[in-house]
Every structure is written in C-alpha cells, then in structure tokens.
C-alpha cells in the first residue's frame, strides 16, 4: 500500500488559505493538507495582514516583469472572485462600481495601450472625459470591481478547507524546517507566511485606515501628486466602510495615529458620497493598523530543495495586493507543484 503523505501549508492569511484550497483540488489519493499558522481568521494581530485589508481591486498599469506577472494573477483572481460572488454570497464578496481619480498620473496611465492592458478585462471599464473628472485631478476611470469583507472571506475559505478534509494546527514556527516535523511523512512545506523566514528582501509597509459605519455604494480612490491617497471601500454583508489610507514602508509603529485618523476622515468628508443624514459626521467603529508583507521584486514563488526528498515551495511577499493576486498566486503555486512532481499533474474542477 502506498504511504500517505502530508503537505504542510504555513499561513492562514489570504495567500495560505487560497493556496491550500487550490492544492486540495489537485491532491493525489494518498496526500492530505495540514494548515499550520500562528494566526487564524478569528485572530487579530498587527502582524497578520489579511483581516485588515480594504479590500478592493484597483489595477496597476506597468511594464516591469513584476507588474506584468501581477497583472496576469490579478486578472485570473478577478474572474475567479466573480464566480465565487455569484455562487456563494456568504463568502463576503460583492461587485460594485470602482472610481479612480489621479492628480498626477505617471506615464503608464497616459499610454492608452498600457491602460488597456491593465483595465480592459474589467466589466464596464471606461476612461473618464476631462469634464467628468473633479477639478484638480488629471486622470479618471470607472469600472466594475469587487470589494471583499476580509474576515468573512478568510473564515469562508477556512471552513471550505476543513469541509474538504483539510486539518489545521495553531503553532508558532521558530524555523521553517520545523514544519517538516509537525506530521508523519511531510515531504513538502508551502511557505505562505507573509514575510517569509528572515528573507533579507522582505520588509513591511504599515497601513492605517479607519472603519466607519457610514455606508457608501462605490469604491473611490483619489491618488495625489505627493503619492498619498484617499479611498473608501464598502465592506459587504454590513461590514461598514474602510476609509484609507497610508502606505508607510519600514514603519513599525503598531499604534493608530490620531493625526492620521483626522486627516483621513477630513479628506473623506470632502470627497466621498456619504448619505446626507450623516451630516458629514463619521460613526467610527475602530482604527486599523496593519503591516503589509512586502518583498523587493515582488512575491517569491519558487521551489527550494530542503534536503533529500524534502521541498519548500515559497509563496510570500504579496505587499499591498494579497487579495487582488490571491487566486492567481494559488494557481501558480499549484501548477509549479504539479510541474515539479509534488502534486499529480492534473487539475480538477474549479471552485
């Protein structure tokens, strides 16, 4: 009888959960998946990025290898999340109108081919005419996009993983090689730990946002010439609205700054269409501070030999785009595992 094998996936953020589900669609008959993490969807920690995300999809035009790879992963994720939203409303994903206004668009936003490459897959995409763009802004677009309630979506994926036969273990790994010892016959460890294990290319990007009860019906992003943004993102299933946000590389401050909160809310009151009965006042639920797990050059997706018959498959460093890239990354990791013989070379049905 063939020996049973356990594949350990480290990390229960959006990347680990998406990857574990994708691997489950391709498992051999003697393989099973054990999800090991310090934090699971019911936990909150500044170092666990997923629950704190907006999370919406806003394409990023660009022609570097990283940008092109991400654009491909983001498009596949968009198509996948459209199917999930239609089939399973409890997953916490809704499609709404997305609006962008840029004060100083970089060259890639002024090149029509580059804009088409990044945006044309979006439902009802259109560039805004100059008279439709608010005063002071120079570029604008509208399209159909998704917004996600991250704690709900992550809990949904975890539930699905367990129902499909996956096991979980809450555990803090001191070293990635420890993962090979957490079950009998572990040949493959998939590293979806966000920041990796002491990778010198990894760094964090602090994000501060504010969750308010005031509803909005669209996600709107204003990007200013100094590189800062204002955005509002409705969270499906009555999850409130995220008002954002900051992007602060290498800033380890875990405390919300009252000055940042005041600036975010002042901008939001000026620009975003809250219902008239709010009187321009915000009903704040909480301040949010999270650390986006970024990596120079983008995500690391590759197989590393960890000794005879042992492999580590890396999938970390999603930065500020983990939800946007999640399904594309999960599919790429699964395909890589099939190519390298860590999974059978066959993919079963989607969803």
Ligand X SMILES: Cc1cc2nc3c(=O)[nH]c(=O)nc-3n(C[C@H](O)[C@H](O)[C@H](O)COP(=O)(O)OP(=O)(O)OC[C@H]3O[C@@H](n4cnc5c(N)ncnc54)[C@H](O)[C@@H]3O)c2cc1C
Residue ranges in contact with ligand X by CB under 6 A? 10-16, 37-39, 48-50, 52-56, 172-173, 192-194, 207, 209, 245, 288, 290, 292-293, 316, 318-324
Residue 139 or 323 with smaller CB distance to ligand X: 323
Smallest distance from the beta carbon of 65 to ligand X, in angstroms?
A: 19
DSSP annotation of 85 reads H
Residue 46 or 338 with smaller CB distance to ligand X: 46
Instruction: Compute the distance between CA of residue 214 and CA of residue 281 in angstroms, rounded to an integer.
Output: 9
Residue 15 or 212 with smaller CB distance to ligand X: 15
Instruction: Compute the distance between CA of residue 119 and CA of residue 125 in angstroms, rounded to an integer.
Output: 7
Smallest distance from the beta carbon of 12 to ligand X, in angstroms?
A: 4
Smallest distance from the beta carbon of 300 to ligand X, in angstroms?
A: 11
Residue 50 or 267 with smaller CB distance to ligand X: 50
| Contact between 268 and 211 (Cβ < 8 Å) | no
Q: Are strands 248-249 and 311-316 parallel, antiparallel or unpaired?
A: unpaired
Q: For helices 65-87 and 322-339, what crossing angle results, to 10°?
A: 100
Residue 28 or 60 with smaller CB distance to ligand X: 60
Smallest distance from the beta carbon of 341 to ligand X, in angstroms?
A: 25
Instruction: Compute the distance between CA of residue 61 and CA of residue 230 in angstroms, rounded to an integer.
Output: 19
Residue 26 or 193 with smaller CB distance to ligand X: 193
- DSSP H or E run through 328: helix 322-339
Instruction: Compute the distance between CA of residue 208 and CA of residue 229 in angstroms, rounded to an integer.
Output: 12
| Contact between 18 and 334 (Cβ < 8 Å) | no
Smallest distance from the beta carbon of 115 to ligand X, in angstroms?
A: 20
Smallest distance from the beta carbon of 112 to ligand X, in angstroms?
A: 26
User: What is residue 165's three-state secondary structure?
Assistant: coil
Sequence-ordered list of residues with C-beta below 8 angstroms from that of 172, at least 6 positions apart, any chain: 38
């Amino acid at each position: 009888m063939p020996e049973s094998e356990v594949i350990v996936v480290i990390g229960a953020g959006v990347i680990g959960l998406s990857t574990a589900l994708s691997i489950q669609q391709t498992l051999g008959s003697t393989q099973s998946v054990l999800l090991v993490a310090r934090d699971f969807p019911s936990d909150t920690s500044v170092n666990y990025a997923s629950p704190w995300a907006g999370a919406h999809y806003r394409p990023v035009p660009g022609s570097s290898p990283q940008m092109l790879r991400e654009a491909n992963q983001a498009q596949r994720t968009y198509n996948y999340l459209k199917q999930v939203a239609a089939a399973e409303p409890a997953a916490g994903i809704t499609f709404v109108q997305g609006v962008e206004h840029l004060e100083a668009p970089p060259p890639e936003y002024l090149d029509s081919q580059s804009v088409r490459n990044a945006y044309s897959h979006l439902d009802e995409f259109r560039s805004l005419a100059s008279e439709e763009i608010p005063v002071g802004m120079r570029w604008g677009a509208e399209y159909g996009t998704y917004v996600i309630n991250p704690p709900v979506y992550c809990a949904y994926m975890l539930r699905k993983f367990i129902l499909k036969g996956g096991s979980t273990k809450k555990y803090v790994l001191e070293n990635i090689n420890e993962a090979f010892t957490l079950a009998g016959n572990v040949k493959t460890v998939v590293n979806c730990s966000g920041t990796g294990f002491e990778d010198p290319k990894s760094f964090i990007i602090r994000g501060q946002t504010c969750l308010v009860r005031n509803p909005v019906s669209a996600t709107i992003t204003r990007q200013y010439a100094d590189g800062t943004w204002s955005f509002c993102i409705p969270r499906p299933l009555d999850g409130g609205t995220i008002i954002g946000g900051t992007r602060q590389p290498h800033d380890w401050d875990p405390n919300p700054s009252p000055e940042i909160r005041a600036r975010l809310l002042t901008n939001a009151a000026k620009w975003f269409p809250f219902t008239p009965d709010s009187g321009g006042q915000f009903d704040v639920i909480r301040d949010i501070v999270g650390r986006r797990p970024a990596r120079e050059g983008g995500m690391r997706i590759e197989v590393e030999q960890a000794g005879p018959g042992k492999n580590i498959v890396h999938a970390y460093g999603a930065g500020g785009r983990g939800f946007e890239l999640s399904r594309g990354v999960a599919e790429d990791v699964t395909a890589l595992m099939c190519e390298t013989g860590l999974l059978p070379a066959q993919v079963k049905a989607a969803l």
